[in-house]
Amino acid sequence: MCQMTSIRKRTWTAPNGEEKNSWQVDYADSSGKRRRKAFARKKAAEAWLTTAAYQVTQGVHTPDSQSITVTKAADLWLKRGEREKLEASTLAAYGQHVRLHIIPLCGDRKLSQITRPMAEGWRDDLMEKLSRPMASRVLRSLTAIVSEAQSRGYVAQNVVAGVKMRRAKREKPKVVIPTKADLKSVINAAKTSTEPMAYPLALIAVFAGLCASELRGLPWRCIDLKAGTVTVDQRADLKNVIGPPKSEAGYRTIPLPASAIAALTAWKLACPPTDQDLVFPSLAKRVMSHQYMNVNIMGAIQLAAGIADPVMKDGKPALDKEQRPMMAQRHTLHDFRHAAASLWIEQRVNPKRVQKWMGHSSIQVTFDTYGHLFDQADQDGAIAAAIEHEILKPTNVNRY
């Protein structure tokens, strides 16, 4: 038990003459300071004191009077994100987590009152109301909120950090990987496109596996035509603002095949100069929007190549004004990123190298996403050249 602890009944008369009573716990916290806490029932006081006594001995007890609510902690966390200039889209997502899910769930609860079983219950509530990926993101935000408050001294421990969103055994990451036939068709269509940047864009998307934001923010200084590499050290967010990669792992250098280097060399001569030295600028010579790059360039290439699927409405193919089936591109920019990873893995690239080239923060992310594709063997030699030959050689064989 805590030093100098006691539970005593306190009785008093309210202003209206009514007699009231409560059970008061007197105890010393970890620093030896005297604390008091009142309960309506003796059993509740005894149960609380048992828990508090253990927390004091472990140095993880926080008096309620020195703690703050989850709502207040969330506000501190969001303001820190603003000070650190997180991307607008990231802040917006965090704000939605807090406003729509966390505050309604537990906003009025003080951090010092949160227990592990309580946090486990919140996890279960989130899983019942939200999809598993969204529930996982909200839980991570809640964990970060309590961690921020802990660093400020508003709570001595983060019990939410131990609550995990375990993946169901049958659940696997669902990634769309374009077939080799689709990749070859897209590259061939890009080569004959009237859009001059289509061909180098398609090649670097397929062979380098850059994120859409990295392609949109790519500067010419990061293309080494002599070494045959592309380096990632910046990206464009959803508001077209150039900034650093999302994480330290985002900084990386990736080899490019000769065909990509040749296409980029030719495109550099034709590329309109921009203030930001962009490889793939918009018509206005600024950062190209994600929508334009994905639909107007890569989407148009796929439609020209016949890499498209009918648009469905109410279970039936949608028709245009001429009563013809409406078609939509089959693959997004992110699908080509998956294609690059699958091609590297097929060439027996070591998992750690795939992780590095993809810019994953941990090898676990790489295994979670592409584990089913790995053959645990490394390959020495010119990997980029082997992939280039596999994709561009004349063949109609579809090995996927």
DSSP 22-91: EEEEEEE-TTS-EEEEEESSHHHHHHHHHHHHHHHHHT----GGG--BHHHHHHHHHHHHHHTT--HHHH
Instruction: Write down the pTM of the prediction.
Output: 0.63
At 243, is the secondary structure helix, strand, or coil? strand
CB 229 within 8 A of CB 256: yes
> Could you tell me what percent of the chain has a pLDDT over 70?
83
Strand partners, 333: none
- If pLDDT is split at 50, 70 and 90, which confidence band does 130 have? confident
What value does the mean pLDDT take over residues 316-340? 86
**Number of residues written out for the chain:** 400
At 230, is the secondary structure helix, strand, or coil? strand
Distance, CA of 361 to CA of 169 (rounded, Å): 23
What are 59's two structure tokens? 């140095």
Q: What is the pLDDT of residue 65?
A: 58
Distance, CA of 58 to CA of 152 (rounded, Å): 19
Q: What is the pLDDT of residue 113?
A: 80
- If pLDDT is split at 50, 70 and 90, which confidence band does 95 have? very high
What are 123's two structure tokens? 């996890």
Which of 173-182, 276-285, 325-334 is modeled with the greatest confidence?
276-285
**Left (φ > 0), alpha (ψ -120 to 50) or beta: where does 304 sit?**
alpha
Per residue in 23-49, pLDDT (tens digit) is 776 666 655 677 767 777 777 766 666
Other C-beta atoms closer than 10 Å to the C-beta of 244 total 13
Per residue in 226-244, pLDDT (tens digit) is 999 999 999 998 889 999 9
What are 79's two structure tokens? 């303001």
Per residue in 136-186, pLDDT (tens digit) is 899 999 999 999 988 887 887 788 888 887 665 555 556 778 999 999 999
Strand partners, 287: 281
Q: What is the pLDDT of residue 227?
A: 95
* End-to-end CA gap in the chain: 66
Given a cut of 80, whether residue 392 has pLDDT beyond it is no
| Mean pLDDT rounded to a whole number for the chain | 84
Nearest to 313 by CA among 330, 325, 302, 329: 325
Given a cut of 90, whether residue 18 has pLDDT beyond it is no
CB 33 within 8 A of CB 53: no
CB 288 within 8 A of CB 298: no
Q: What is the pLDDT of residue 1?
A: 42
- If pLDDT is split at 50, 70 and 90, which confidence band does 379 have? very low
Per residue in 179-209, pLDDT (tens digit) is 999 999 999 999 999 999 999 999 999 999 9
Q: What is the pLDDT of residue 323?
A: 77
Other C-beta atoms closer than 10 Å to the C-beta of 323 total 6
CA-to-CA dists, residue 354 to 50, 95, 245, 337, 389, angstroms: 51, 33, 18, 12, 19
Q: What is the pLDDT of residue 55?
A: 62
What are 374's two structure tokens? 């790995």
Tokens 């921009």 -> residue: 274
Q: What is the pLDDT of residue 53?
A: 61
Q: What is the pLDDT of residue 87?
A: 82
Distance, CA of 119 to CA of 115 (rounded, Å): 6
Per residue in 41-70, pLDDT (tens digit) is 777 766 666 666 656 555 555 565 567 899
Q: What is the pLDDT of residue 381?
A: 43
Question: Which domains, and CATH codes, for the chain?
Answer: 6-61 (no CATH), 70-162 (1.10.150.130), 180-392 (1.10.443.10)
- Sequence-distant (≥ 6) Cβ neighbours of residue 178 within 8 angstroms: 186, 307, 330, 331, 335, 336, 338, 339
